[in-house]
Structure 1
């Protein structure tokens, strides 16, 4: 019997274009439990799918600082989130939402 090695599934391997990233991020925004953890995880996946070094340059942060901010233990401020989303070529929009 042949032994197969499986590698863990990583969303960043499947974010091939801007549309994929936007759809993924929007889905995570809709499902986020309210603490930003899912949004932060999605931004981390998107950042890794892009180029973390380039993103660090564009945000003025270090790669280590980006990884820390976007880690499960991270707690990035709103200014950091804006820097990251802008560097990824994304923008925030607000809309009315029913309660």
Structure 2
């Protein structure tokens, strides 16, 4: 017999829900994935944000077909810079560059 209520929620679903409910958390979450300098983590982070904000809506704002959006953010995906910036823009974000502060500069 199936229970009417699920006793627990998957980690992925809980993260997506929290990202949907808190835009500042979503921003910090994606920023943290970028700091890991790991393509897989970045695609997973973006995929979770896309799910939180609705894939159809994000794809439309990014000028992509939903299938292409999913393909670009799949584990084997390799989005172009244009695709990446389009997705970020659709999420209200953009890439930026900042100087890495070395230990010698930190003391100045």
State the TM bucket, normalised to the shorter chain. 0.7 to 0.9
1:63-74 alignment runs, 5 A limit: 63-74=66-77
1:17 partnered with 2:19: no
2:33 matched to 1:31? no
C-alpha RMSD over aligned residues: 1.9
Normalising to structure 1: TM-score of the pair?
A: 0.84
Aligned to 1:92, what secondary structure does the other structure show? coil
Which of the two has higher C-alpha Rg?
Answer: 2
CA–CA separation in structure 2 for the residues paired with 1:30 and 1:60: 27
Q: Going by fraction, where is helix more abundant, 1 or 2? A: 2
Give the whole-Å Cα distance in 1 for the aligned partners of 2:41 and 2:51.
Answer: 15
- CA separation in 1, counterparts of 2:8 and 2:23? 27
Number of aligned residue pairs: give it. 95
Aligned partners of 2:16 and 2:45: how far apart in 1?
9
Query: Structure 2: 5+ residue runs without aligned partners?
Result: 1-5, 103-108
Q: TM-score, normalised by structure 2?
A: 0.78
Cα displacement (A) at 1:6: 4.2
